[in-house]
Structure 1
């Protein structure tokens, strides 16, 4: 399994989708964690699973139905941009 740094060194399509804002009442400081969408379509399913052991890999449609509305919007936009 390749570590994420090795995967990113291969220059996959990567899209910045935003910063995590825990409290919307507090202005962003740009020290918040960033979120990215990365196209892993060239990787095997086994290698993708190894990136986050213990997680579940779901097809986009059923997975999106489990997201909060704001998260689903971010997912949809990132997915369409990667497509």
Structure 2
């Protein structure tokens, strides 16, 4: 949880590289940390690494299809993430 919080703090400060590092460390400790995975994609997006962000978000949506952030990505970026099929 501490690595996640550090990643979030760096993200809020606009320091994407440090945010990425924090989220990656949180995921290394807990690969099922859904919010860390979605935020990692966001940190890559904010740093201009769009392809990496889309790849991470695709993985996150596949692993956590019912997460509220999966729904948000589908809603806001339908060209990349089609609507969820039940």
The answer to whether TM tops 0.5 is: no
Flag the structure with higher strand content. Answer: 1
Scaled to the shorter chain, the TM-score interval is under 0.3
Structure number with the bigger relative contact order (C-alpha 8 A, sep ≥ 6) is 1
The structure with the largest alpha-carbon Rg is 1
TM-score, normalization by structure 2: 0.27
